[in-house]
Amino acid sequence: MSSARPELSPRGTAALVVLVGVTCALHVGKMPVAIPVLQASLGLTLVQAGFLLSLVQLAGMLLGLPVGLMADRFGPRRLMLTGLIILAAGSALGALAPDVRVLLATRVLEGVGFLLAVLPAPALLRQQVREPSVLSRALGWWGAYMPFGTALALLLGVPLLAGIGWRWAWASLAALSLMAAFGLARGIAADGPERHPSGAASALVPKLLRTLSSSGPWLVALAFFVYSGQWMAVVGFLPTIYGQSGFSAGAAGVMSAVAAGINMGGNIAAGRCLSLGVRPGILLATGYAAMALGAWVAFAAVGHPVLQYGAVLVFSCLGGLIPGTLFGLAVGLAPDNSTVSTTVGWMQQFSSLGQFLGPPLVAWVAVAMGGWQSTWVVTSFCSLVGLFLAWRLQVAWKLSRQPRAAAA
């Protein structure tokens, strides 16, 4: 049976891995459009809704680094399959949740599965895609898995929820995750036998120390932190903001889907630009500056809906340059080939921390100020920190290339 497994080209492998990521992102994107339904059926408050948006990131916030070590030790494909099964279980249990507390608990389980399913993907891509230019583009596409999945969920969520209800929607996504696991198992060869030497546990310590004592993993992690928190806060609350502004649920869902999906353009463009030799610091600085300006106009230009929506599109599209660039930098700035997943895990941990803190913080500011008009202060501060990190990452990237240039 194993000999019947189809051999995928590097591009086919990259496409399969990205599609698996998209199915995982649907579990994150299902919550924004479901918030109004859950408020009506379960009595959610706005702050509780913020935690439902971000709680799926709790596992990444706490376990990103350990999971990265596990992926480097036991293989990325094996861990991704385990994560997809756990993600399916969490969504299926969520469909049966009788109240908000149980639903919150199932979101934590979904978060564990999500982390295991997506964190090892860059290492799997590096393992399967050998050509540097193809790998750069593949990592750019991988950076787009979240906005693509979120956009699909926002676009299809409203009619799906209206047609079958949120519980059956949760159950359907559980089935989709199982289908993704089957596709990954059939499409990509196994990692190889597990390694259980007597010194396996102790061997992880030097790998951990190499990662945490290097500046590169810290810089990409902090840069992702200040990006992910503000992006999830703005995009996650768009359906709620537009609903409060008088738009229908369908219109709010479509507008939010476009705003999330356009983020893909920045991700893909980042991978393409990196493959052509554009400096990563320029891409990062452009992204953070656009997010600062876009958020300011989007929240401050009250009474100008067309201008506000255009600013949201700029915020999301050019902001997409950031994750597409950071995934490429994480692979390049890892201390060595054996610490790629560990470095990505550290970055994922800070990314999840940002997504965990961002929505509740923005919701708290909105409640305290009596509206959304002052929340741009939070996003602008994040972008200013990001500009500083963009400069530091450019320096680190340049230094990482010097030994290779000298060797050549």
Q: What is the mean pLDDT of residues 94-120?
A: 87
**Residue 305 burial (C-beta neighbours within 10 Å; 0-12, 13-18, 19+):** middle
Residue scoring higher pLDDT (7 or 267): 267
Can you say whether residue 240 is alpha, beta or left, with left for phi > 0 and alpha for psi between -120 and 50 degrees?
Answer: alpha
CA distances from 121 to 80, 104, 334 (A): 8, 26, 15
Q: Residue 195 — pLDDT band, cuts 50, 70, 90?
A: very low
The Cα 119–Cα 205 span in angstroms is: 20
Give percent of the chain above pLDDT 90.
24
Tell me what pLDDT residue 196 has. Answer: 46
Q: What is the mean pLDDT of residues 26-41?
A: 82
Res. 245: pLDDT tops 60? yes
Retrieve residue 60's tokens: 């990444």
Q: Give me the domains of the chain, ranges plus CATH numbers.
A: 2-188+203-400 (1.20.1250.20)
* 295-346 pLDDT, tens digit each: 888 877 666 778 888 888 999 999 999 998 998 888 788 887 777 778 888 8
Q: What is the mean pLDDT of residues 218-245?
A: 84
Burial letters 191-213, b for 16+ CB under 10 A, else e: beeeeeeeeeeeebeebbebbee
| Sequence-ordered list of residues with C-beta below 8 angstroms from that of 78, at least 6 positions apart, any chain | 190, 191, 194
Q: Residue 22 — pLDDT band, cuts 50, 70, 90?
A: very high
* Nearest alpha carbon to residue 230 among 380, 371, 344, 119: 380
Q: What is the mean pLDDT of the chain?
A: 82
Q: What is the mean pLDDT of residues 158-167?
A: 86
Res. 50: pLDDT tops 80? no
Tell me what pLDDT residue 193 has. Answer: 54
Res. 395: pLDDT tops 50? yes
The most confident of the ranges 26-30, 48-52, 317-321 is: 317-321
Residue position matching structure tokens 């840069």: 223
- Residue 367: other Cβ atoms inside 10 A: 13
Res. 199: pLDDT tops 50? no
Residue scoring higher pLDDT (60 or 334): 334
Tell me what pLDDT residue 171 has. Answer: 94
* 117-140 pLDDT, tens digit each: 988 888 888 777 777 777 778 877
Tell me what pLDDT residue 225 has. Answer: 94
What DSSP element (H or E) covers 350? helix 340-369
What's the Rg (C-alpha) of the chain?
A: 20
Q: Residue 197 — pLDDT band, cuts 50, 70, 90?
A: very low
Tell me what pLDDT residue 7 has. Answer: 64
Tell me what pLDDT residue 256 has. Answer: 80
Task: State phi, psi for 196 to the nearest 5 degrees.
Answer: -130, 55
Q: What is the mean pLDDT of residues 188-193?
A: 67
The most confident of the ranges 39-53, 245-259, 300-314, 388-402 is: 388-402
Tell me what pLDDT residue 403 has. Answer: 54
Q: Of 91-105, 132-146, 283-297, 342-356, where does mean pLDDT reach its minimum?
A: 132-146
Res. 216: pLDDT tops 80? yes
- Residue 165: other Cβ atoms inside 10 A: 14
Q: Residue 6 — pLDDT band, cuts 50, 70, 90?
A: low
Q: Residue 183 — pLDDT band, cuts 50, 70, 90?
A: very high
